[in-house]
Amino acid sequence: GAGVSQTPSNKVTEKGKYVELRCDPISGHTALYWYRQSLGQGPEFLIYFQGTGAADDSGLPNDRFFAVRPEGSVSTLKIQRTERGDSAVYLCASSAGTAANYGYTFGSGTRLTVV
């Protein structure tokens, strides 16, 4: 696609429920990143994919969070047993190469609200 697409743009869910957030990166971009942005903060790294594999998942806060990218394109961030503290904007970004050389292209984010 022309840009990084994230769906849904907004998600309201009840505490304890399961949610899936989708990211469709720019076609051909091998690197895909998930970030989380809480109110008043900068984006915080969650996980990085190079192709199909999670090359770095050190930013996932706990085992309720999981992400996949089975075919090396679309990625899904999955959150189990949601908590109110999970409320944030979840950002996806893709890059043709290393961030140092190319920078990221960000999606518009999914605003998750856990009530």
Binding mask 64-93 for other proteins (x = CB under 8 A): ---------------------------x--
**Cα–Cα–Cα angle for 71, 107, 114, rounded to 5 degrees:** 95
- What is the rounded CA–CA span in Å between residue 18 and residue 42? 25
Applying CB under 8 A, the span of 9-17, 18-26, 62-70, 97-105 interacting with other proteins comes to 97-105
Q: How far apart are CA 15 and CA 1, in angstroms?
A: 34
Among 15, 17, 18, 55, interactor with other proteins by CB under 8 A: 55
Q: Find the shortest distance in angstroms from Cβ 81 to other proteins.
A: 26
- Interface residue with other proteins, options 30, 64, 108, 111 (CB under 8 A): 108
CA–CA separation, 15 and 106 (whole Å): 28
Is position 109 an interface residue for other proteins (rule: CB under 8 A)? yes
Residue length of the chain: 115
